[in-house]
Structure formats: C-alpha cells, structure tokens
Structure 1
Amino acid sequence: MKIKMKLVAALKIWVVIYPSILLFNVLFGAALTGLPGYQRMFILTLALVPWMVFVAIPGLERLLRKTKAD
C-alpha cells in the first residue's frame, strides 16, 4: 500500500473514531467512572470496534463514494 493510501485510510479512521469515542464518553463516562481503567478500556473497545468495522467506516466510505460521484 502506498503512503498516500495509508494516510487517507488513517484520516478516515480518525474522522470516525474521534467523534465515536467522544460520544461514548459523554453518554457512558459517568456510569463507568467507578471502574478501573483497564475495564473501562475493555468496554470501550468492545463497543466501538464492531461499530467502526460494521457501521461507521462502511458508512463513511458510502458517503465519500456518493459525494465523489456527484
């Protein structure tokens, strides 16, 4: 994979993961405060990895294809 393609892929992932983590923390941060850090991280990744793989990244790809076609 060329460097440009890797940079574009990294940017797409960041565009989706940052708001997802922010929203997760806003919605569930208070409920998870009492847990140790490793447990909070486990719950965060358990929720967000499937979200990223099956919903967010494919949705971003569709949106980009749609805007590129217009």
Structure 2
Amino acid sequence: MKTKAKLMASLKIWVVIYPSITLFLYLFGEALSGLPLYQRTLLLTVSLVPWIVFVGVPFVDLIIGLISPKNEKR
C-alpha cells in the first residue's frame, strides 16, 4: 500500500472513530464508570469495531465517492 493510500485510510478511520467513541462515551460513560478500565475498554471495542468496519468506513467511502470527481476511462 502506498503512502498516500495509507494516509487516506487512516484519515477515514479517524473520521469515523473520533465521533463514534465520543458519542458512545457520552451515552454510556456514566453507566460504565463503575466498571474496571479493562471491562469498559472491552465493551467499547466490542461494540465500536464492527460499527466502524461494517458501517462507518463504508459510509465515508460512499460520501467520498459522491463528492469526488469521476475519472472517465477511455
């Protein structure tokens, strides 16, 4: 994978991860605050990794595809 592709992939993932973690902690942070850190981390990752892989990043790819100029093949 070229450097530009790696950079784009990392930016797409960050664009999905940051708001997802923020929303998760806003909604469930207080309820989970009594759990040990490793259990909170487990719940966070078990719920957010599938969300990011199957919904978040494909959605970002769709949006990028809609707004980026189309390359016409000749």
TM-score (norm 2): 0.90
Once residues 58 and 68 of structure 2 are traced to their aligned partners in structure 1, the CA distance between those partners, rounded to angstroms, is 15
Cα displacement string for residues 6-51 of structure 1 (whole angstroms, at most 9, x for unaligned residues):
0111011001100100000000000000000000000000100010
Is the aligned partner of 1:41 residue 2:41? yes
Once the two structures are TM-superposed, the CA of residue 69 in structure 1 deviates from its matched residue by: 4.3
CA distance in 1, matches of 2:2, 2:27: 38
Any residues of structure 2 matched to 1:1-70 within 5 Å, and which?
1-69=1-69
Distance 1:6 1:66 in 2: 21
Q: Which has the higher helix share?
A: 1
Aligned length: 70
**TM superposition outliers: structure 1 runs of 4+ over 3 Å:** none
Higher Cα Rg: structure 1 or 2? Answer: 2
**TM-score scaled to structure 1, two decimals?**
0.95
Deviation at 1:57, TM superposition (A): 0.5
User: Which amino acid counterpart does residue 39 of structure 2 have in structure 1?
Assistant: Q
Deviation at 1:3, TM superposition (A): 0.7
Rounded to whole Å, the distance in 1 between the matches of 2:47 and 2:69 is 32
Q: Percent identity?
A: 57
